[in-house]
Structure 1
């Protein structure tokens, strides 16, 4: 049986996602969020913005990989900026 080969980078990525979810859960328990409107066309909570930011980051990675010959690190920086923008002003 072949198992998925986890690289250090892959484990770090999923570990960061898990840490973000745990952190958001603790933050929500300590300080319940009030839904608000930002530049996104819907009213969102912190969890909604995290989900939208992560989903958008995945699509940005696919776009950079599929359309350009840029480094994956450039895609990662662009995706991180997108995530931070959505979390702060989304």
Structure 2
């Protein structure tokens, strides 16, 4: 069924995580209405907007770490996850 793409374990985990995040945000939004607020990003956002911005930021930081040949992919992932968490919380 999924022969059209080479599914490695990291790719499957990444896509599964994104699907779980989107499903979780949908359920959370159903039970508790998102509140618009202005954080350090300088724009008015709700939870879903900050989630989208943090996912894009994580991907960008990982691509940049590969472009500049950072020796540790785990360190790059931890830094990118930390930045994404800050955006989710205070962005």
Give the alignment's TM-score, normalised by structure 2.
Answer: 0.91
Match of 2:23 in 1: 22
Further displaced range: 72-81 or 2-11:
2-11
Q: Which runs of 4+ in 1 moved over 4 A?
A: none
Deviation digits for residues 22-64 of structure 1 (CA, Å, limit 9, x no counterpart) = 0011111010011001100100010000000011111100111
Matches within 5 A, 1:10-89: 10-89=11-90
Q: Secondary structure at the match of 1:68?
A: coil
Q: CA RMSD in A?
A: 1.2
1:12: how far off? 0.7
Structure 2 unaligned regions, length at least 5: none
Give the alignment's TM-score, normalised by structure 1.
Answer: 0.92
Further displaced range: 68-77 or 3-12:
68-77
Q: Secondary structure at the match of 1:70?
A: coil
1:68: how far off? 3.1
Q: In structure 1, how many angstroms separate the alpha carbons of the residues matched to 2:18 and 2:29?
A: 16
Aligned residues: 89
